[in-house]
Structure 1
Amino acid sequence: MARQLDEQMAGRFPVGQRLRVLDVGMGQGTQALRLARAGHQVTGIEKDATMLAAARSALAEEPEGIRERVRLVEGDGRDTGVHFLPGSFDVVLCHGVLMYVDDPDPLLAGLARMLAPGGLLSLLVRNGDALALRPGLSGDWTTALAAFDTTAYRNRLGLDVRADRLAALTATLAGIGAPLHAWYGVRVFTDTAADGAEVPADVETLLAVEERAGRTDPYRGVAALLHLCGVRG
């Protein structure tokens, strides 16, 4: 999905422009550091102390020029209005966060307000239209049957979380002034791979297949995750 994000950023902004990026729920900072290495000014916000410590440790190992482009903030993505002025960012990332939020609409509205006009809102969410696929492919028929009528599920960490449906998120993005511009599927064929599985020898071919499927119907519609890109009007 990094390639998908880069594609959308390249399509929205002039080549070489140093973008102001907000990474909400940045985790260990992998995406934030990748974008800082590409020359962008990145602010990461994270409420989990362990994750924040890992991000700070990773940042400390970077060259000074990259460290100067990254700011780390301890906080909740729902409190962006406390930390930042409206319109402060060209790109806002919210990847792997919405599944932990019972009511995502206020969070998304707050993130949209952080965007400058023409800014890009990038979301990575669990696909609520395909929740039956993983248990179904693994032969867990009871869980698969129940998954058709809910957006609730238990993730691999054993946590009870929620998924989002494409139609509902499309309506939400339109309502907050950042209508959907593009969307992709993520982990179309690889979602059932075991945790810690060895990287296959033909990993480049695997990635090419996933990339192609993630932008092609009907495959993208049954992906484990959805990557949605909204643009602030």
Structure 2
Amino acid sequence: MARQLDEQIVGRFPVGRRLRVLDVGMGQGTQALRLARAGHQVTGLEQDATMVAVARESLAGEPEGIRERMRIIEGDGRDTGVHFLPGSFDVVLCHGVLMYVEEPDPLLAGLARMLAPGGLLSLLVRNGDALAIRPGLSGDWSGALTAFDTVSYRNRLGLDVRADRLKDLTSTLAGIGAPLHTWYGVRVFTDTAADGTEVPADVETLLAVEEKAGRTDPYRGVAALLHLCGVRG
């Protein structure tokens, strides 16, 4: 997915431009740190105190120049208007967050307001059109049958969460002024791999297959996750 994001950034902004990036729900800060190392000015927003502590510890081990380019704020992604002025960022990331938000539309509208004109909104969501794939491939037939008619599911952490359908998010993004520019599938073939599975020797080939599938119909439509990129008008 990092390659997909970099592709969108390179295709939208002048080479060498230092972008203002907001990572909402940054977790332990992996993506935020990667972008700070690439020269961008990054703000990470995270409400989980444990994750914030991990991110701050990781940042503390970075060279001074990178530490100066990244700030971490403990807070809720639904309160971006409290922390920032509209149009403050060139890129807003919201990866792996919407599945935990019961009513995502207000959050998405707030994120769109944070974007400067021409800014990029990057979302990573659970694919609500493919919820039957995981239980089906694991032989859970009753679970697969139920999954066809819902966007609710239980994740690997045992939490009851929700997924999003491409059609619905396309409509939402258009309505908040950041219409869908392109989308990718993520984890087309690897979603059923058990946690802790050993990395295969031919991991580069695996990544190449996933990358190709994530850009190719019909494969991307059955991916476990969707990466959507909207652009602020």
Q: Same fold (TM over 0.5)?
A: yes
Q: Gapped runs of 5+ residues in structure 2?
A: none
Residue in 2 that maps onto 1:73: 73
- Equivalents in 1 of 2:222, 2:127: separation in Å? 8
Q: What is the 5 A alignment of 1:1-233?
A: 1-233=1-233
Query: Alpha-carbon deviation of 1:28?
Result: 0.1
Which residue type is aligned with residue 94 of structure 1?
Answer: C
Q: CA deviation at 1:160?
A: 0.2
* 1:217 to partner: Cα distance: 0.1
Inter-partner Cα distance in structure 2 for 1:68 and 1:172: 35
Partner AA of 1:46 in structure 2: E
CA deviation after TM superposition for structure 1 residue 58, in Å: 0.4
Q: Deviations over 1:34-77 (max 9, x none)?
A: 00000000000000000000000000010000000001001000
Q: Quick one: distance in 1 between partners of 2:154 and 2:167? A: 22
Q: CA deviation at 1:142?
A: 0.7
| 1:144 match: secondary structure | helix
Deviations 1:61-95 (A, max 9, x none): 10000000001001000000000000000000000
Q: 1:105 deviation in Å? A: 0.2
- Tell me the CA shift for residue 150 of structure 1: 0.2
> How far apart are residue 147 of structure 1 and its match?
0.2
* Cα distance in 2 for residues equivalent to 1:160 and 1:141: 19
SS at match of 2:227: strand
Distance 2:52 2:146 in 1: 36
Shift of 1:112: 0.1
Post-superposition shift, 1:131? 0.1
Cα distance, 1:109 vs. partner? Answer: 0.1
Task: Output the CA distance in 1 between the equivalents of 2:104 and 2:115.
Answer: 17
Give the AA of the match of 2:202: D
Q: 3-state DSSP class of the match of 1:227?
A: strand
Which structure 1 segments of 5+ residues have no match?
A: none
RMSD (CA atoms)? 0.2
Which AA in structure 1 matches 2:145?
A: L
State the SS of the aligned residue for 2:92.
Answer: strand
What is the identity, as a one-letter code, of the residue corresponding to 2:128?
Answer: G
Look up the equivalent residue of 1:217 and give its one-letter code. D
Paired residues, number = 233
Mapped to 1, the partners of 2:208 and 2:76 lie a distance apart of 35
Moved over 3 A (4+): none
**Residue aligned with 1:59, SS:** helix
1 CA distance for matches of 2:151 and 2:57?
36
Supply the distance in 2 between the matched residues of 1:151 and 1:136 (Cα, whole angstroms): 16
C-alpha distance in structure 2 between counterparts of 1:141 and 1:102, whole Å: 27
Look up the SS of the partner of 1:68 in the other structure. Answer: helix
How far apart in 2 are the matches of 1:143 and 1:57? 40
Residue type of the alignment partner of 1:198: E
Q: Take 1:109 and 1:31, find their aligned partners in 2: how far apart are those partners?
A: 22
Output the TM-score relative to the length of structure 2: 1.00
Q: Distance in 1 between matches of 2:220 and 2:132?
A: 15
